[in-house]
Amino acid sequence: MYHDCRCISVNSYFILNMLQAFEPPLDMSQDTDICEHEHLEDVCADHIPCEVRDFCSCQSASTSGRTCFLEADQASCGIGSNLICNLQKERTVSEEVQVQNFCGSANGNLSLNSDYSGQSEKAGCDDVKVVSNDMEVNLVYDSDRTVSLSAHDWLDPSLQLKVPLVDVDKVRCIIRNIVRDWAPEGQRERDQCYKPILEELDRLFPDRCKDRPPSCLVPGAGLGRLALDISCIDFISQGNEFSYYMMICSSFILNHTQTAGEWTIYPWIHSNCNSLSDNDQLRPVSFPDIHPASAGITEGFSMCGGDFVEVYSDPSQDGAWDAVVTCFFLDTAHNIVEYIEIISRILKEGGVWINLGPLLYHFADMYGPQDEMSIELSLEDVKRVAFHYGFLLEKEKTIETTYTANLRSMMQNRYSAAFWTMTKRQVKS
């Protein structure tokens, strides 16, 4: 019991530090979630895709604590030296949200906001006080840097926020995605999923020049690792992500981490099924495995928050990209045909589309008050649609991979993911 509490305390310490790193600090207690698929709360998290493969179209809290939705009237996410990305609009009900933009600088020093000056409290202090929702929590670190429970027990009901179970599940999925994208333990999955993409980009753009690097868009970028890795091989890379949870965490890792291995979490503490031993469930994971700002990013790297369809349907995006990379993304669509049409439209003639992932359609067999639309095509039909929109198949194979898997679990869900390279047909003049 003590070890469980200690692990949960360490996770909570990271999360509270992450929220307090922003200016003003994010108050997630004001978050109100609207989700038509509440029955998923009772499904074991090991049996469903994680939050980056999000089933729910949910409301998010703004940095000011108000409850609202993503909005921006500017429909361009700039590719340039300013690295400033405008949030695009998604309208639902009648509420709106304002979320801080992701920014960066050409010298590799990433920042959330150009005027940000706050510093988050680091794990180097001996007694850390975190204030959240009018609640004070004291975390005391022993000499070996492990957390000791203070006088206030973390399991005291008086200290617990009333958080919807669907949001708790999302946070747990974010923690597992940290392992996938930013921990040494996730290297195997990154090698399975990201390495073939990076090798294909390197093969297809052999003569790229640092003075005029090609541009690459990564929709569904999650916590930003693939987009950053693409930037590090001399591409102007932009990640696009809809999930507010993912945006907060990716911004913190990209902008506010000071060294590799700075943070420690216990990602499997809530995975009570299929554990080989208590030690496997209680094992810590340190991250990030690299310091993002020192990774050698190419000038122009950026992250853009907003719905892919809303953001990149803007005419300013037409023919703007040399490459589009989709990794575990296509099946997040309500209408996969619309995704493919937009990908074709935003690519330059001769541009490249690299895809890796399954077709686990997120809105399939979902029944709710609004009956979410879902178009579910076979892989064969997906390729037919791509051909219709001017794509030529250059390369295709199947890649066996997992997704946010616990390497020491007795159960491993594996995907036979489709991997292809397509080029947009050039129009003959």
pLDDT tens, residue by residue, 142-177: 444 444 444 345 455 555 667 888 888 999 999 999
**pTM, full prediction:** 0.75
Task: Let me know: does 68 contact 94? Beta carbons within 8 Å.
Answer: no
What separation in angstroms does the CA of 254 have from each of 24, 181, 241, 326? Answer: 18, 12, 14, 20
Q: Percent of the chain at pLDDT above 70? A: 67
pLDDT attached to residue 372: 75
- Return the SS3 of 129: strand
Instruction: Tell me the pLDDT tens digit for each residue of 181-224.
Output: 999 999 999 999 999 999 999 999 999 988 899 999 999 999 99
pLDDT over 80 (residue 371): no
CB-count burial class (<10 Å; 0-12, 13-18, 19+) for 412: exposed
Structure confidence at residue 263 (pLDDT): 98
Question: Which residues contact residue 288 at a Cβ distance below 8 angstroms, ignoring those fewer than 6 apart?
Answer: 182, 183, 253, 257, 260, 261, 262, 263
The pLDDT of residue 29 is: 54
